[in-house]
A = this chain, B = another copy of it.
Amino acid sequence: MGSRVDANALLPPDKPVRLLDDSGTLHEVEGFPLDLKDEELRELYRFMVLSRRVDKQAINLQRQGQLGVYASLLGQEAAQVGSAFALEPRDWVFPSYRELGAALVRGVDPASILHLFRGTWLSDHDPHETHFGLLSIPIGTQALHATGFAMGAKFDDVDLVVMSYFGDGASSEGDPHEALNFAAVFEAPCVFVVQNNQYAISVPLISQTRAPTIAHKAVGYGMPGYRCDGNDVLGTYAVVRQAVERARRGEGPSLVEAVTYRMEAHTTADDPTRYRTDEELAMWKARDPIARFETFLESEGLLTADLRQEIDDEAQAHAKRLREEIYDAPHGDPLELFDHPYVEPPPSYAEQREFLRAELASNQEG
């Protein structure tokens, strides 16, 4: 009747793993070697800068009435880029609605994501091309899709790791609980990355859970819980990489808590002044993930003025393309409403489609 696993081996360390401190100085952390080549370090930087620029563009487009709403990743660039960077192309990601940074790393065209927020389409990218699942709005539900996908890969003995993102608030929902449990029971090659950005809209972490940390929840499923400084792209990468390799070795799922902060409003519809202070904001601004990494790269001589220019130009180009693609983008063909719900639609679809077609036609005349 004794316990079957050594619980202490599953518990996270007291402090989150960080390789770069707030000032950008590198520290050796035992068990988490930094095994990245120079070009990889530059790639991490590049993706973070692109993420922030695209994010800024999205916010502007929303302010100009071009997007219905938008959920910013500002402040979470390291958590997203560092974690997604730990994956191979053959791996899969099941995101929530805030993972624009992870999407960029996976090669998803950000325009497709802005089309979702604009309301051109409910979604506009093919998950099979980039192995990046559809954005999932019902909180925490995508964690089960990740687990199921990983179960499939495992049953086929296919070498592939599945990463799922969800938030601190999502940890309260039933679905992530069931997803973690299924993943553990079926030893599915999953990595669950919780971006703990301290808030679920207006609700702070302390009102969300009394767990010592979110990573401590892992022990309840018999999987290891890791914690990393989500504003340190190197710490995040190193920790997630371990979890990914563990899954790849067939040793099962794990839970990673990336401790970070949402610098922007929850969405452009939100007013954060109602629930958080300028002091808090200032404290986290001092931990900016990009500034910190810049200092490090410069100290290493990896970030020349030219490179910075090059990346900024690329970011500007991205932003420009997004403005051009999204600004006053036409709505899709209304008749497409009937094209996708079923491969073999019910007969009523023919009637209803014809009704709409006729209506559209007469509106054109009239």
**Which positions in A face B, CB cutoff 8 Å?**
1-8, 10-12, 14-16, 172-175, 177-178, 181, 184-185, 207-213, 216-223, 229, 259
Cα–Cα distance between A1 and B4 once the two chains are bound (Å) = 30
* Cβ-defined contact, A207 with B185, below 8 A: yes
A217 in complex: contacting residue of B1, B4, B173, B220, CB < 8 Å = B220
Per CB-CB distance, the 6 closest pairs between chain A and chain B, nearest first, are A174-B174, A210-B222, A217-B220, A3-B212, A177-B177, A184-B210
A222 in complex: contacting residue of B3, B16, B212, CB < 8 Å = B212
Kindly report which residue of chain B lies nearest to residue A222, judged by CB atoms. Answer: B210
Q: Which B residues lie within 8 Å of A173 (CB)?
A: 174, 178
* Cβ-defined contact, A212 with B4, below 8 A: yes
* Cβ-defined contact, A14 with B5, below 8 A: no
Q: Which B residues lie within 8 Å of A175 (CB)?
A: 174
Least CB distance, A140 to chain B, in whole angstroms: 10
Least CB distance, A50 to chain B, in whole angstroms: 27
* Cβ-defined contact, B185 with A208, below 8 A: yes
Cα–Cα distance between A169 and B239 once the two chains are bound (Å) = 32
Q: How many copies does the complex hold?
A: 2
Q: Which of A174, A178, A219, A229 has the most chain B CB atoms inside 10 A of its CB?
A: A219
Q: Which B residues lie within 8 Å of A5 (CB)?
A: 210-212
Known: A11-B7, A175-B174. A1 touches B211 (CB 8 A): no
Q: Which of A15, A210, A216 has the most chain B CB atoms inside 10 A of its CB?
A: A210
Q: Which of A11, A216, A223 has the most chain B CB atoms inside 10 A of its CB?
A: A216
* Cβ-defined contact, A209 with B229, below 8 A: no
* Cβ-defined contact, B216 with A211, below 8 A: no
Q: Which B residues lie within 8 Å of A8 (CB)?
A: 8
* Cβ-defined contact, A220 with B219, below 8 A: yes
Least CB distance, A70 to chain B, in whole angstroms: 28
Cα–Cα distance between A213 and B175 once the two chains are bound (Å) = 21
Q: Which B residues lie within 8 Å of A184 (CB)?
A: 209-211
* Cβ-defined contact, B3 with A216, below 8 A: yes
Q: Which B residues lie within 8 Å of A3 (CB)?
A: 12, 14, 212-213, 216
Least CB distance, A78 to chain B, in whole angstroms: 14
Cα–Cα distance between A14 and B5 once the two chains are bound (Å) = 10
Cα–Cα distance between A4 and B211 once the two chains are bound (Å) = 8
Cα–Cα distance between A7 and B174 once the two chains are bound (Å) = 23
Q: Can you list 9 A-B contacts (CB < 8 A)?
A: A3-B12, A5-B212, A7-B11, A172-B178, A173-B174, A177-B177, A184-B210, A185-B209, A219-B219
Known: A15-B2, A173-B174, A174-B177. A210 touches B229 (CB 8 A): no
* Cβ-defined contact, A221 with B229, below 8 A: no
